[in-house]
Structure 1
Amino acid sequence: MPSPREPTPPNPERLQAPVARLLRPLVRLLIRSGITFPAVTNILRELYVNVAEYDFALSGKEQTDSRVSLLTGIHRKEVRRLRGAGAPVSTVPASLSRTSRILSRWLAAPEFTDANGRPLPLPRTADQPSLPSFESLVVSVTRDVRPRAVLDEWLDRRIVTIDADDRIVLAETAVIPSGGSEQQLYYFGRNLHDHAAAAVANILSAEPQFMERAVHYDGLSEELARKLEQRSRELGTEVLREANREAHAASETDGGGGWRWTLGIYIYREAAADETARPFSADDDAPEAGS
């Protein structure tokens, strides 16, 4: 029997509807991308075996094909074939990791930002080592690639531009990967994984472990929905910038370890399928969704 600190997982029947809603946009993406149902079942089969093998192993006991088969409903012959294959891993592309680290420093380090925390336009090089430059920015993060090579790549990807004073300026959209790019697909997997992992941890815990909440209003006009979206972008961007500044400053003196941390914000609007939806009123519950 589960202990008081380990609540009983949701009934399978109750879980099916929210899972279907969760998967619907993913299925839309899979169909548009030409990934068929049989291909998805192969991925799920491997994941079921891998999760059962490693996440549901009993302490002090060797995990067996029979137990994995019992947990997953997959035939023992298939379990035997798939065990030990390892779960699919989303490796960080080298160029993405380097770009993220340089951008993070440009957006956070005091020597590369103005009094309002905005990234400074940077000269290519500086006459004095103590003055900020694009070269010193890149070198402060990595010496494995020449600053000029980074600049050429970023100009091609429109991450930066050159102003009239020959300074390198960070583009407003620099931290937003282009549609379908390697960078976007990497963060697609990482961000959705972390959001889902936080929500699942909260469901399986006696008390919520992570903040996982949203503010939502239904029955709005399209004009108001767009205004709220724009304002949300402004608020979210400021929160992420401030979090990046604080995390960067703290990490400078941190001893390091095997942990990672993510702060995510999402915004969404759509035409409601229910035409009878009405605006929120004072008679309703508070317009905030918890975990």
Structure 2
Amino acid sequence: MEQTNPSNNTPDSLLPEALAIVEPLIAWLIRSGVGYNEFATALKPVFLAQAQQELLKRNQKPTDSALSLLSGLHRKDVRASREAASRTMAQVQANGSAWGKPSMANQVATRWLSLESATDALPISGDSNSFEALARSVSKDVHPRTVLQELVRLGLAQEDNGYVHLLRDAFVPDASHKEAKELFAGSAADHLQAGVHNLCAPSADDNTPTPRKFLEQSVFAAGLSPESVQQLNLLANTLWAHVLEQVVQAATPLCEKDANYPEPQRFRLGVFSFAAPEFKKTSDNAQP
């Protein structure tokens, strides 16, 4: 006789949606040698910390009983994980802010791509239209030669006969670099934050001002051939190049104007594309 978990079958259960979201994450963990027990142990302080924050939002006292009930953790785990929860969330939030901010090399490459007169090659030195001038327009605190060495290390540029060549095809990060994992984590986390905010924001009937909604949209097409997918992927990359140019041109003077703002915020605009075979239901997996 098959046993089911009643909590999975409630109308408001988010487990089906959550499982769809974490499936690629689980695949990444397994490919990286992280198993269930290690991941489950690491999740305990995260669940506890989020439960603490939720109780504070509700103006409720974060007692062991309340935290156990809300997080689903045993009371002994709540007592054992309180200190770890604070450390974990502090580290998670610090990582999120750090990983959300591109490195100096990435900022220079992005500025390069956004230039109206952008070319794939710049002389290393010069007064205006040079790599040194470009690097100094982003920051005067890091020497242009240091930035160039980092771009070359990341595979984003090549140096040849006094010129720097931007490798546009290399802007999907090399998975062998630690920076690629951090950039992906920061981008994916912010994407989820936007969606969760939009789903959990109070309604206009709560006697509160209409909450701000973040942009979180996508376009979906099905029944395509691989050739059609490739055509759409090329279009997506072309459109993103235009978006990148306009957003960076708008963001650059705003960043300069707000350089000393006492309570700064971060902003991210992301675009992704993905293609995979369609899942076709059969009599064995059809839902009743």
The answer, yes or no, to whether TM exceeds 0.5 is yes
Quote the residue 2:235 is aligned against: 231
Gapped regions of structure 1 (runs ≥ 5): 1-10, 277-291
Within a 5 Å distance, the mapping from 1:65-80 to structure 2 comes to 65-80=64-79
- Structure 2 equivalent of residue 188 of structure 1: 184
Segment drifting more, 95-104 vs 253-262 = 95-104
Q: CA deviation at 1:178?
A: 0.6
Matched, 1:118 2:114: no
SS at match of 2:168: coil
SS in 1 for 2:88: coil
Partner of 1:248: 252
CA distance, structure 2, for counterparts of residue 19 and residue 60 of structure 1: 27
Q: 1:275 to 1:238 in 2, by over 3 A?
A: farther
Aligned partner of 1:3 in structure 2 is none
Specify the alignment match of 1:150 in structure 2: 147
Q: Which residue of 2 aligns with 1:106?
A: 112
The residue identity in structure 2 corresponding to 1:121 is A
> How many corresponding residue pairs?
255
1:66-119 Cα deviation digits (max 9, x unpaired):
2211211212222122213332422637x95222332333344xxxx3xx3525
Q: TM-score with structure 2 length normalisation?
A: 0.77
Identity of aligned residues (%): 28
- Residues of 1 paired with 2:218 and 2:253: CA distance? 28
User: What is the aligned partner in structure 1 of residue 169 from structure 2?
Assistant: 173
Kindly provide the amino acid, as one letter, of the partner of residue 227 in structure 2. E
1:12–1:142 distance in 2 versus 1, CA, 3 Å: farther
Higher relative contact order (CA 8 A, sep 6+): 1
Letter of the 1:122 partner, please give it. L
Is 1:264 equivalent to 2:270 in the alignment? yes
TM-score, normalised on structure 1?
Answer: 0.77
- Pick closer, same or farther for the CA change 1:244–1:269 going to 2, 3 Å: same
CA RMSD in angstroms, aligned pairs only: 2.7
- Whose helix proportion is higher, 1 or 2? 2
Of 206, 210, 217, 1:213 maps to: 217
- Asked if the contact 2:157–2:164 (Cα under 8 Å) also holds between the matched residues in 1, the reply is yes
**Aligned residue in 2 for 1:283:** none
Give structure 2 stretches of 5+ with no counterpart.
1-9, 204-210, 283-288
- Which piece of structure 1 moves more, 42-51 or 137-146? 137-146
SS at match of 1:269: coil
Residue 210 of structure 1 aligns to a residue whose secondary structure is coil
Cα distance in structure 2, aligned partners of 1:248 and 1:12: 46
